[in-house]
Every structure is written in C-alpha cells, then in structure tokens.
Structure 1
Amino acid sequence: MMASVTQDATSSRPRPPGPSGWFTIPAPLARLFKKFPLLTYPPNELPARSPGTTHVATLYVFISDKDALEGLPSYNPSCLRWQTYLRLAGVAFLVLPSSNHASPTGALPFLLPPTRPNDPKSPLPIPSSKLEQYGIDHGLDNGISKLPELSSARLEAYESLLDHRIRNAWLYHLYLCPSHSALLVRLYVAPVSKSQAVRTTVLYQLRRAAESEILKSTGRLVIDPEAIYNGAREAFGALEAELGNKPWFFGSSQPGLFDATVFSYTHLLSDKGSGWEDLRLTHILDEFPGLNMHTLRISQKCWPPS
C-alpha cells in the first residue's frame, strides 16, 4: 500500500518541459551558453617540417638546418649521391634534415612526392632503391643519361671499387680516425640528443658499426689503416683511368648515377669546409686531377656559383 502511494505521488509531480536524458544540458549552463556561445577555431598550422600540401617533392637527408635552407649538398655520401642524381635528372625538390630513426623506411634518404589539395590519399615515401626510376620518370628529358651498353661484369667491378675500397676508407677516415672525433660528434651524435650519456652510447654504436662493416668487407680480423688508404688510392687510380679525358664515366653524353656516386665521395673529401683535421685521404684524391675536374663539372652543374 505504501509503495503504491509513493508511486502515485511521484507520478503526479509536475515534470520540467523539454527533452531529458544523458545529453540534456542543465538549465544554468544553457543560459550561460546563450550569452557566451561556443566558437570553433580553425586548426593550428602544421610545423614547418611537417609534410603538408607541396607542389614539389621533398628529399629527407642528413644535413644541417642552415644548409638545407640554402639548398647545399648533404654531408653524407649516401644522401649526397641521390641529391646529386635528382639534380642532374632535373627533378624539382626540396631538402629537409632528418635521421634514420625518423625515416619511415628506416634509412636515409627517402623522398615524399608532391601532394595535392583535397587529395584523400597521402603519397607513400619513396626509398633510395626506387629513386633512380623516379628521376627517370619525373626529370627533364635531357637531364640524365643512362649508361651506354656496358657489360654487367665491368660495371660491377667499378661499382665494387666504390662500395668497398672507397667506402671502407670513408668509414675509417670519419668514424674511426681519432682526429675526426669532434667532427663525427657534430655531424651524427650531437643532433640526436643533448644527454651526454645518450651521446656516448650513440658514438660507441656508430664506431662499432663502422668497424664491423670494414672487417666484413675486407675479411680481416683487425683493421689495417695503411691497407685501407692504399686500397682507396688504387680505387681512385682505376676510376681515373676509366674516366680518361672524357667528361663523364663510360663515355656517356650526360652524367648519370655512377657519376653522382663518385661525386658523393670526391666532393666531400675535397670540400675545404668539411672540417677534416687529418688530410691523408684528401691528399690521396689530389693525386688524380681527372677526378678533381670531374668533381668540379658536377658541382657546377648542380650547385653553380651564384
């Protein structure tokens, strides 16, 4: 009986007008919002480094902020190789600083194609393994030259000089030569972190990786610096003999990817602004004037003096 009386009393109580439920705004807040209506502000702009709508491709490389703004060459041979190749091909692109850890492909360089407004599909990053074809597809018709008819064995022999003897010398010269510790830290360690503990770890990892690559390439148990430098001298000599009096390698009418690869080492070794303290490898390169002239021709094509 009590229950029915209570139920009747509740049902007879007047209810406030309007909808009810979880999403009902309390009356005091509703009156407040009428006086101060909510505004939807436009989204903040993306940071300058974030990929947005661009009319040109963006190549992410090892490079300082200042050099990127000025469009200067990367200080990393692998990055400079493709930066040079795309310039030779006549591809329009910008460069931005990055690192292997920030790369979606796990390594630099990589390229983001141009984006278009209102395009629902974001372009996929292009790894370095596909940049040669990208240069052919998107460069100027007369900007780059494919290699003339050349036996694969001969080409592989010259590529091996770059991939082993010259690269080994580069790795030892920068990563393991005691005179270049400060340079190595400035280029590859300091940008990673301000923590001294992290920097020490990164420096150790870089040197161990370089040592491992050299030992694997040479098949030795210990690194012999003199043998490495002599190997570089022999490799530069073989490249000089192949180039001869021709402007580009293998008699091509225009420079190609091989020319860009050679340039990626010779430019960095001969550049007076690179910060070398030990000049042994630079002096070895100076013994080959043909390679130095080749470096100058590529530099004038890609980075002409203003």
Structure 2
Amino acid sequence: MSSTADKSKARPQQPQESSGWFTIPAPLARLFKKFPLLTYPPNELPARSPDIRNVPTLYVFISDEDALKGLPSFNPSCLKWQVSTAYLETGRGLVHRTNPTSQTFLKLAGVDFCLRSSNNHASPTGALPFLLPPSTPSDPKSQRPIPSNKLEQYGLDNGKSKLPESLGARIEAYESLIDHRIRNAWLYTLYLSPTNTKLLSNLYIVPATSSRPVRATILYQLKHAAELEILKSTSRDAINPADLYKGAKDAFRALETVLGDGEWFFGSPLPGLFDATVFSYTHLILHDGLAWENRRLNDILEEFPRLVSHRNRIFQRCWGSGE
C-alpha cells in the first residue's frame, strides 16, 4: 500500500482544462501564443467626410463629377432643396414622400453648401436628401444630420437671403397637383416607359452595382414600386398612360394660370419653396442632358411657355447661364 501511495505522489499532476463554449482549443491556444493577435487602430475617415466641416454638406442623388461642379441633382426630391440655396429610389421601392426641391431651395435662401453623391442606403435617415451642418469634433450636436422635412426651416434660419413667408393653405391645392398628377406622370415616364429604361438604369442602377443579376433585381423593384405608387395615388386597378399625361397637362395649365405674368408664384417678389418645388420637375423634364427617349411629358410642358420661362429664371438665378 505504501508503495502505491509513493508512486501516486511521484506523478506530476496534470492541470485540469476547463471546458465550455468559450474555451479556446489547446492547438489554437498554442498557435496564438506563437502568433499573438494584433489590434490595429481604427481607420481615419475618408477625405470626403472630414471631421471638421466649415460649410454644410448636402447629400443627394448625383454623380461624383456633377457634385464637384455643384450641378443640379437628377432626382426631383433632392433638386428641390438643392435649388433652395445654390427620392425615392431604393432597392426596396419608392417609399419616400419627400419634397422634391431641397437643392434649389437652399440656393434661393442663400445657404452656402457643398454637394456629395449618396444614396438612400448610405443615409442615416434612410432617405435623400439630408444635410450635415458645419461641425467641429468638440460639438456632438453638430454631427446630427438634418432630414429633408427640416431643410426648409434650416434654410430660413441660416440663409443670407430673405424668402417670402409660407402661404399655408393657399397653396395646398397646387401642391396636390404636383404631388399627384405631375409626379404620377413623372414616375410613369422615367420608371415604366420602356423607351426610358436605359435612362433609368444609367441614373440609379448602373452606379450602384456591376452585377447583372443585381441590376435586373433592382430594375424590377423600381418599376414595381413605381407601379404600386401610381395605382395607389390614382385609386385605379390599372395604369392608363393617356390619363396620366392628361392629368399632368391639366396640372401644368393650372400652375401657369396661377403664375400669370409674374416672375414668381403667387405674386411674390422673390422665389420661394413653391417655386423650387415646381422647378424640381420642370427643369428635369426639359433637361436635354438626361437623354429622354419618351418625350411626351417634355412636349406637354413646352405648351406652357410661362412655366418654361419660370424654369429658366430659376436656373439662371441659381446656376448661371448654360447647363
């Protein structure tokens, strides 16, 4: 008995290995000891997203080249706000009902800003446009994005130009014409008209991916979402292009009537948000650089020379001559 006890005392005791879900297997543990993990510091922000912004940055649908030149966005919702100083489309559909004039409104308000190309998936708000105000690292509040529904107030608070007061209920009927009749015709022309499929792809699909299957999927989703949006707005079971274009023509006629012989809508001495809203569609409809194949909406708008002149005045005021 004593011999057995002595032998057990002589044996070195093996350490008990713990077991469980978070236990590193012994072979990996020995490997990590030879090659310890190295944690690298976080990457710096890219140059296009600086820590310190001296001027606001407006993120819109636009090419990188046009953003550097400060040119108008090809998306009505973004262009509305872009003009105010100087949508829409996601892989999941037309889910955003934002005002289409931000880029224009900011320019009219006299807000100095720079443009950046973006998309809804990259937006912290889930939609374009949005604006990042001037910021410093020591001010966390300055890092908060301003969504499209607050851009009007931002332009009024920070612009150098005094804009006309909001007309309130007076313009609701005319805004409805833009949001429904003109917008429906726009959606059909760009998204559902077969002859404009190439233009739609070049604007929203080709820049997003080089994968053909993904492009085909996005194209289907955009067209399907546009169809649903039009059917919902018209309360119809099927889309009738002739009715859509007739509705747009009636809307343009009403807008030209209310514009009258004045330079700006409702007799205002200065262009305001409603002018930017109208421009966001009239400019893009008349924009030859978009290479429209189906020009039905273009032909309709050209029947209203006062609206064409209004579009030209806004463009001249915000971007100067030429396109």
Fold conserved between structures, TM > 0.5: yes
CA deviation string 1:247-285 (max 9, x = no partner): 111111111110000000000011111110111110100
Q: Tell me, in whole angstroms, the C-alpha distance in 1 between the residues paired with 2:207 and 2:69.
A: 19
Counterpart of 1:232 in structure 2 is 248
Q: Tell me, in whole angstroms, the C-alpha distance in 2 between the residues paired with 1:43 and 1:157.
A: 52
The answer on 1:209 being equivalent to 2:209 is no
CA deviation string 1:83-137 (max 9, x = no partner): 0000000011111000011111010000000112543555210000000000000
- Shift of residue 62, structure 1, vs aligned partner: 0.1
The answer on 1:110 being equivalent to 2:109 is no
Counterpart of 2:15 in structure 1 is none
Aligned-partner residue type, residue 54 of structure 1: R
Q: Percent identity?
A: 62
Q: Secondary structure at the match of 1:202?
A: helix
1:190 to 206, 216, 221: 206
Q: Tell me, in whole angstroms, the C-alpha distance in 2 between the residues paired with 1:223 and 1:48.
A: 46
Aligned-partner residue type, residue 295 of structure 2: L
Counterpart of 2:174 in structure 1 is 158
Q: Tell me, in whole angstroms, the C-alpha distance in 1 between the residues paired with 2:113 and 2:231.
A: 37
Counterpart of 1:74 in structure 2 is 73
Aligned-partner residue type, residue 303 of structure 2: E
Conservation of the 8 A alpha-carbon contact between 1:242 and 1:250: yes
Matches within 5 A, 1:213-292: 213-292=229-308
Q: Tell me, in whole angstroms, the C-alpha distance in 2 between the residues paired with 1:212 and 1:183.
A: 21
Counterpart of 2:25 in structure 1 is none
- Shift of residue 192, structure 1, vs aligned partner: 1.6
The verdict on how the C-alpha distance between 1:169 and 1:120 changes in structure 2, with shifts beyond 3 A counting, is closer
Counterpart of 1:84 in structure 2 is 104
CA deviation string 1:135-160 (max 9, x = no partner): 00000143x22235x6x1x4211000
Conservation of the 8 A alpha-carbon contact between 2:51 and 2:137: no
Q: Tell me, in whole angstroms, the C-alpha distance in 2 between the residues paired with 1:184 and 1:120.
A: 38
The count of residues paired between Structure 1 and Structure 2 equals 267
TM-score in terms of structure 1 length: 0.82
Q: Tell me, in whole angstroms, the C-alpha distance in 1 between the residues paired with 2:196 and 2:141.
A: 45
Counterpart of 2:164 in structure 1 is 145
Aligned-partner residue type, residue 161 of structure 1: L
Q: Tell me, in whole angstroms, the C-alpha distance in 2 between the residues paired with 1:50 and 1:256.
A: 30
Query: Segments of 4+ in structure 1 off by > 4 A?
Result: 41-45
Q: Tell me, in whole angstroms, the C-alpha distance in 2 between the residues paired with 1:198 and 1:107.
A: 21
Aligned-partner residue type, residue 252 of structure 1: S
2:196 to 151, 175, 180: 180
The verdict on how the C-alpha distance between 1:78 and 1:120 changes in structure 2, with shifts beyond 3 A counting, is closer
Counterpart of 1:28 in structure 2 is none
Matches within 5 A, 1:129-144: 129-142=149-162, 144=163
The verdict on how the C-alpha distance between 1:140 and 1:164 changes in structure 2, with shifts beyond 3 A counting, is same
Q: Secondary structure at the match of 1:101?
A: helix
Q: Tell me, in whole angstroms, the C-alpha distance in 1 between the residues paired with 2:141 and 2:261.
A: 49
Conservation of the 8 A alpha-carbon contact between 1:147 and 1:252: no
Aligned-partner residue type, residue 109 of structure 1: P
TM-score in terms of structure 2 length: 0.78
Q: Secondary structure at the match of 2:66?
A: helix
Q: Which runs of 5+ in 1 are unaligned?
A: 7-40
CA deviation string 1:51-86 (max 9, x = no partner): 421100000000001100100000000000000000
